[in-house]
């Protein structure tokens, strides 16, 4: 599945917002409508994919934590939106 994240990230610029919602929702439990509501713009969706890529990556837990630390400034809003959805 991590290859799916990489592939979608590579294609993100060429996909419309609805197409991107559909591709991301196929990898998550979120619907296209929920994705569109939480992450309305393509850069928001790309940050979500980056977060998913880190979390689902084949790296060790401490490496994932370091990747999150390295990217927290750009991913913080994404994390907050996702947690707001589940809390």
Residues 8 and 19 sit within 8 Å (Cβ to Cβ): no
pTM of the full predicted structure?
Answer: 0.78
Q: Can you state the percent helix, strand and coil of the chain, rounding each to 5?
A: 80, 0, 20
- Identify the domain containing residue 54 by its residue range: 2-86
How many structural domains compose the chain?
Answer: 1
Would you give per-residue pLDDT tens digits along the chain (87 residues)?
A: 556 767 776 776 666 778 888 888 888 899 999 999 999 988 898 899 899 989 988 789 999 999 999 999 999 999 999 999 888
């Amino acid at each position: 599945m991590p290859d799916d994240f990489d592939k979608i990230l590579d294609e993100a610029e060429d996909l419309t917002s609805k197409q991107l919602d559909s591709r991301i929702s196929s990898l998550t439990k979120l619907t296209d409508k929920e994705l569109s509501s939480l992450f309305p713009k393509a850069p928001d969706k790309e940050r979500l994919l980056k977060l998913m890529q880190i979390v689902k990556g084949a790296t060790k837990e401490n490496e994932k934590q370091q990747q999150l630390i390295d990217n927290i400034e750009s991913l913080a809003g994404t994390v907050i939106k996702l947690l707001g959805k589940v809390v």
